[in-house]
Amino acid sequence: MQEESAFKAILITRGRRSGTEHAVWLRAVYYNGKIYFSRRNADSDWLKNAKAAPQVKVVFEGKEYDGMASLVTDTKLAEKISELKYPGEERAHEARIVVEVEINNTEYKK
């Protein structure tokens, strides 16, 4: 995967009420060895799930990785992720809620 690039990935979270896995396709950003996902607002289920149960899985390029999710509080980093996610687009300048996923394993899991 190329550094500072946007790509499609599946984020798998554990339901905050049901406890079952939920998978969603999202546009992700790879930056400084971590994977980032973002939203304009906090009302998405995947975001609520990741906040409640930060152990997540990320699937891309046919491989599944375990990771730990956390909210990004650094506004400069959040702005950088938006710029990388939406290069040249107006929405790159919108305030977003950004989730950082630090991958725990680098080996193919599935």
Local confidence band at 2 (pLDDT 50, 70, 90 cut-offs): confident
Predicted TM-score (pTM) of this structure: 0.92
Q: What are 8-65's pLDDT values in tens digits?
A: 999 999 999 999 999 999 999 999 999 999 999 989 999 999 999 999 999 999 999 9
Gap between the Cα atoms of 25 and 68, Å rounded:
18
pLDDT at 108: 46
Token reading at 105: 């394993």
Nearest to 48, CA basis, from 71, 73, 79, 25: 71
